[in-house]
Each structure stands twice: as C-alpha cells, then as structure tokens.
Amino acid sequence: MWKLKFGEESCTTGPFNSYLFSTNNFVGRQTWEFDPDAGTPEERAEVEKARQDFQTNRFNIKPCGDVLLRLQMLKENKGKYDLKIPAVKIGENEEVSHEKVSTALRRGVRFFCALQTRCGHWAADIGGPLFFMPPLVFVLYISGTLNTIFSSEHKKEILRYMYNHQNEDGGWGFHIEGKSTMFGTAFNYICMRLLGEGPDGGQDDACSRGRKWIQDRGGVTFIPSWGKACENVVLLPLGVHAIVILIWKEEDLYFRRSPIQNLIWDCLNAVEPLLGSWPFSKCREKALQVAMEHVHYEDEASRYITIGSVEKVLCMLACWVEDPNGTAFKRHLARVQDYLWMAEDGMRMQSFGSQQWDTGFALQALLSTNLIEEVGEALKRGHFYVKESQVKDNPPGDFRKMYRHISKGGWTFSDQDQGWQVSDCTAEGLTCCLSLSLLPPEIVGEKMEDERLYDSVNLLLSLQGKDGGLPAWEPVVGAEWMEALNPTEFFDKIILESEYPECTASAIQALVLFKKLHPRHRKKEIQAFIAKAVAYLQQTQRPDGSWYGNWGVCFIYGTWFGLRGLSATGKNCVNCPTVRKACDFLLSKQLASGGWGESFRSCPEQKFVFLENKKATLVHTAWALLGLMSGGQAERDPEPLQRGVKVLINNQMENGDFPQEEITGAFVKNCALHYAAYRNVFPLWALGEYRQRLAAAAAAPS
C-alpha cells in the first residue's frame, strides 16, 4: 500500500535523499512511499474498491476524493475524536435550529480534525492539470534517471491516472475537466509510451485511441509551441522554429496572437542562427551564463523545489545539461517526490503543495465554530504549523539584483522550504496568528512574537500596486502592452504580475484585525493601504455586482472575497451600495434547491455559467453563504441563508464528511485546479458563521 510520510520521516529513503536540505527540519514536507507489506487485507480491499468506484464514475465526477489520504489519517488519529454522532436532517418546511446546526458542526469538525497530520497541517490533493507530469517524465527519460526515480509502482499509478482522465473521445484535455486538446493528448500519449506502454497498450486501448485522436487532427506537428519545445526533448525535431512555430489546432487556442507578434517572432527566427557564429556567439555564451546564474540562485533559494512544477522541470533540465553528474541535478532529483500526489485515481504531479493555504483556511473555519474546547488540540497543532512555516528571511544575497522582492515575514503556498511568499497566503497566515493570539495559550499554544507579525505587515504594505490592489507574488512592474508578447496559446495575462481582488481582500481582512490589536505599528500607512484597497475592490466590481475569481470557480468565489474584504471595514448591505449589489448578485444565482453551483467554464468564458442541470455544489453554496453573511444578508432577509444551510446539513455524510463534487479551483483563466480539502473547510466555515448569527439573534432583545 501507499503511505504518506511527513516531515523528517519523508527523508529516510530514496536514492538522492542525502542531497536534501531544509530551513526548518522539513516541517510540512509530505511524500508518498509504496510499502508492499503495509495494510491489512481489509484496508487493501477498501483501497481497491475506491479505485474501482472512481473508474466507474470517472466521467461524472472527475476530481478524486483523496480516499487514500483520508483512510490513512483516520487510522492514525483513531480514537481521538468521536465520529459516531448521529446524522441530522432538516425537513423542507422545517426551521433551521441552533441545535441541528451545532450537531452538524460537531460531526463535521470531528471528522475534519481526524484528517490533520502530525506536522499540524492538513494534507490534500491539489491536482487537475494534465500537462505537469509528462515533461517530468521526458526529462527523467533523457537523463537516464526514470527508473531510478520511478519504481514500477510509481509507473503503474501514473498510468492509472492517465487512463482515468482520458476523455471518451480518446484524447486528453489541458486539465481533467477540459475537452480534448492536441497539447494534452500528445503529451499524455508520449508519456504513456515512455513509461512502457506499447503502441496499442493501455487500459481500454488507451494508446491506440489517443493516437487515433492525434492522427485524425493532422498529427502532433499541430501541437502548440510550448508542446513542440517540450517534445523536442524526447522526439526528433517537430519543425520548431528557433523561437516559435505558428500552427496549432483551434481547440488548443485560448490566447490569440496579434499579427505584430507573429512578425516579431519571424524576424527573431531569421536572426537567431547568427548567434551561433562569432562574434555573436560570445553574446549567446554570456546570456546562457547569466541564465544559469539565475537558475542556480532560484534553486538554492527554494531548496530545489522552485516556484512551481513547470519551472521545476525546466530548471532540472538546465542543470542536467550543464552537468549530468553535478550536485545541482542530484538535488533536483531529491525534490521530485515533493510534487507527487497519490489518490484513488492514480498518481499525478501537483503544481506544488497547498499545505499552508489549506491550513490557514482550516484554522479560520474551526475558529468560526466557537467549539474551542473540542478543537483545541487541532488548533494548537495547526498554530504550530503556521508559525513554523513563516518565511523568516529574505532571499539570500543580493536578491534585488536577481529580481526578487523581500519575503521575510511571508508565508508560501506550501511550506517554509519553498521560500516563495504569496500575498494572500501571507494575509491568511497573519489572520490566523492574530485570531489565535486572542485565545488562551494553554489551549492553542504560545502566540507569535510581535516582531514576526510586523514583518508580515511590512511585506503586505510593500506589495500594494498603484491601483490599490495586491499581486500574488511580487510588485507589479512593466507596461500593460507587454502582455501582447505572451508566447503561449492557452494562457492569458501571464507576462506581467497582476493585481487580484482575492489577494486584496485577504490583505484588508488581515490588516484591519492587525490595526485593532496593534494600533501603533505603521498606523497611518495601514489606514492609507486599507482605503486604497477598498477603492480597488469597488472599482473592480463588475456591473452585475460580482467579482471575477482568478483562483477559484469563479464569480461566486470572487464575490465572496470581495464581500469579505469590504465587510472587514464595516461595510454592509445597508450602508454600502457595492455590498448590496454583490449580495443581490449572489441571491440572483441561488438555485431552486437552495444551493449554489457554478461551472468551471465561467473562468475561460469570463461570464457566469451554471453547472449542467443547474446543479448545486456544497463548496459554492458555502462560499455564497459566507459572502452573504459578510454583507449583512442575515439582517436584511435570513430566508435565503436558511435554504442554503439546509443544503449543507442535508448533504453531510454519515461519518461527518462531505461528498466530493465538481472541481472548484482555477488559475490563469483557462486551467482547473482541484483543492480536495475545500469540501470540508468551507461547509464547516459557513455552518460556523451561521451558528454564530443564530446565537446572536437569539440573544438580541426582541
């Protein structure tokens, strides 16, 4: 059976583990390892049943349910939490009572706490893209390390993932919810062949069906330029120009290049051969030297994790080309396992881990329940993880010269070793630490030192853009026209850093709370920051009252954040037209069932799209409820909230869990991302907030 190992335990095996190094003893690191002797016959049978169930239903619900992780954590935490509280249901004409909400909360909270790891974080899948794993396999194959890094069990599970996410037409999409594309199909077909499948091999004739899809559409030469560049690593040249080639299939096209950009690439392609001849070759040598300096700098600064999976493979390839036997390449190999995730649908490569992101939300959800005595241990362990994961230093050396921003006081998306602070992760981490500082340390652990809180605030203040919004990673630089040079065909807005409503709202929430608890630190600057950030949210609201969600699906997600940020400054339906308009938008999307649901198609199409048959999901329902409660809907008309809460309670499972439904994460407008922890975090958070409002209403004078 497969087992997830955490922290220093994850560093005990592996051919290159001696090349690992860490800033905090690997707190939060998580890697999957196969143990042929692990598990009882009953546990193995349960895993096989989960695999079969996923395969049978793979065209209905495409994200995994993280069954392997959940089985392991429930076993490790067995006996800590009573998971046998009877389920509750609410009738169609029945009022939502404080008692039933409390029962549902206790059931859900205990189950979720039983999923917590010994490091203190909540582990979960963050997969979905189908173009991450193939380039990794390509590089391992050409470097001769494929069989060293991937055992036969690894290969078996990688292939399982590809089989399970092959579309009915034989192709693969850009991501697991997407229609088939040449990019996804060619990548996964070649990957299967490199992993040992024959021309007609694979489950349900996977290879022959995939090959037919490619051939029916003109062949692999029609893959977009990024695909051509990657596939030239393992195949004969596909006719790629030195810069780019201009043919691709329409189904792969999301960003359409301008004629001017095409002209620029043609000119560069004509000039490029000259760089191989003296004296221009000296320029190329210098450029390659500078490029490798940056590669090595980023590798060392991130402990060879790098900023994400795409960069990881490219940097690893560059280090292998430079020195196949060098330390840098071996350190890269040691960190490959950090990107792999195992579930009932097989093994995938993640963008990177979401340990800190999920834990920040999880702690806020638990705090919202006011069940502090029951969840005290989970809060203390989660608090430990958040404190241990804060980035304590700026990037090494002359980081400005290397085009890096300060990172001291920030939080990454995953763990401290990765090193790349993210603005909303920093804001959510800061909010957690501030909120937990209000509780007794004997329950939740010692509060974070003030200086470390100040570091976080200083970082957030440094990131605000001229329009008042916050980017994700670093301050926005460059002119908007540079986006016209986007060399990809399937991403939009990737050349420059952008300001995002979600990041901005998270920062407002954190700084409002910080100002309340630490009123003397940079008071005027924080006030000015909040005022500009609020103006940014008001300016970026769409005419229908929504905000576009850049990191989730989509308008419901963005609108929750917009309302969350504005409500932190005291704005509500009564005193703010922006909030009233946003609440009206959410109310207009409530379904007859009482819930909310939104298709991933909203992201690329940039307009609201319901799920098929106007289906509701629990995560979207929770986001909508959280947004409405933030905006003051309970005081205006609580009936829509009651209907939504009924949906959450009536769909809770017998063990306190919530069912896995459609994908709810996204990035760069055109790619879906599966956050497996969301199905627990947000329903619990919504129920917790609703329970608080029920209690407040009961205590209010009549």
Q: How far is CA 3 from CA 9, 29, 73, 149, in A?
A: 11, 14, 10, 17
Domain-embedded: residue 292: yes
Domain-embedded: residue 466: no
Q: Distance (Å, rounded) from C-alpha 354 to C-alpha 338?
A: 11
Per the model's pLDDT, the better-predicted residue between 259 and 352 turns out to be 352
The CATH number of the domain where 621 resides is what?
A: 1.50.10.20
48 and 170 fall within a common domain:
no
73 and 216 fall within a common domain:
no
pLDDT the model gives residue 235: 64
Last residue of a domain, one of 314, 332, 350: 332
Q: Token digits for 110?
A: 């205990």
160 and 306 fall within a common domain:
yes
For residue 661, pLDDT over 90 is answered with yes
Domain-embedded: residue 444: no
Helix axes 355-368, 678-699, angle to 10 degrees: 20
Q: Distance (Å, rounded) from C-alpha 393 to C-alpha 672?
A: 33
Last residue of a domain, one of 332, 365, 397: 332
Find out whether the peptide bond into 638 is cis, omega within 30 degrees of 0.
Answer: no
Q: Indicate the pLDDT class of residue 242, thresholds 50, 70 and 90.
A: very low
For residue 454, pLDDT over 80 is answered with yes
Q: Indicate the pLDDT class of residue 251, thresholds 50, 70 and 90.
A: low
Q: Which of 415, 417, 424, 455 is catalytic?
A: 424
Helix axes 372-389, 423-436, angle to 10 degrees: 130
Q: Find, among 377, 384, 441, the residue nearest to 114 by Cα.
A: 377
pLDDT the model gives residue 238: 47
For residue 226, pLDDT over 90 is answered with no
Q: The domain containing residue 236 runs over which residues?
A: 133-332
145 and 40 fall within a common domain:
no
80 and 138 fall within a common domain:
no
pLDDT the model gives residue 239: 46
Q: Indicate the pLDDT class of residue 256, thresholds 50, 70 and 90.
A: low
Owner of token pair 């769409």: 542
For residue 439, pLDDT over 80 is answered with yes
Helices (H), 114-149: 133-142, 146-149
Q: Indicate the pLDDT class of residue 702, thresholds 50, 70 and 90.
A: low
Q: Distance (Å, rounded) from C-alpha 4 to C-alpha 489?
A: 36
Please state, rounded to an integer, the average pLDDT across all residues of the chain.
Answer: 93
Domain-embedded: residue 350: no
Residue 672 Cα to chain centre, angstroms: 10
Domain-embedded: residue 20: yes
322 and 231 fall within a common domain:
yes
Cα-Cα-Cα-Cα dihedral sign, residues 354, 355, 358, 364: negative
| Residues 475 and 462 sit within 8 Å (Cβ to Cβ) | yes
Q: How far is CA 95 from CA 89, 349, 641, in A?
A: 11, 45, 11
Domain-embedded: residue 590: yes
Q: Average of pLDDT values for 217-225?
A: 82
69 and 142 fall within a common domain:
no
141 and 288 fall within a common domain:
yes
83 and 176 fall within a common domain:
no
Give the number of domains in the chain: 3
295 and 191 fall within a common domain:
yes
Q: Indicate the pLDDT class of residue 245, thresholds 50, 70 and 90.
A: very low
Q: Indicate the pLDDT class of residue 243, thresholds 50, 70 and 90.
A: very low
Q: Distance (Å, rounded) from C-alpha 536 to C-alpha 654?
A: 44
| Residues 624 and 552 sit within 8 Å (Cβ to Cβ) | no
Q: Find, among 553, 547, 541, 637, the residue nearest to 598 by Cα.
A: 553
Domain-embedded: residue 633: yes
The reply to whether 53 belongs to the active site is no
One-letter amino acid identity for 236? L
Q: Distance (Å, rounded) from C-alpha 674 to C-alpha 482?
A: 30
pLDDT the model gives residue 221: 81
Q: Token digits for 291?
A: 């490029």
Q: Indicate the pLDDT class of residue 254, thresholds 50, 70 and 90.
A: low
For residue 395, pLDDT over 80 is answered with yes
Q: Indicate the pLDDT class of residue 123, thresholds 50, 70 and 90.
A: very high
Q: Average of pLDDT values for 83-107?
A: 94
User: How does pLDDT run across 560-617, given as a tens digit for each residue?
Assistant: 999 999 999 999 999 999 999 999 999 999 999 999 999 999 999 999 999 999 999 9
566 and 680 fall within a common domain:
yes
Which positions ≥6 away from 193 have C-beta within 8 Å?
199, 207
pLDDT the model gives residue 471: 96
User: How does pLDDT run across 128-185, given as a tens digit for each residue?
Assistant: 999 999 999 999 999 999 999 999 999 999 999 999 999 999 999 999 999 999 999 9
77 and 161 fall within a common domain:
no
Domain-embedded: residue 387: no
Q: Average of pLDDT values for 257-275?
A: 77
pLDDT the model gives residue 296: 98
Lowest mean pLDDT among 1-15, 400-414, 458-472, 487-501: 487-501
Hey, is 105 helix, strand or coil?
Answer: helix
Q: Average of pLDDT values for 25-40?
A: 95
Last residue of a domain, one of 303, 332, 361: 332
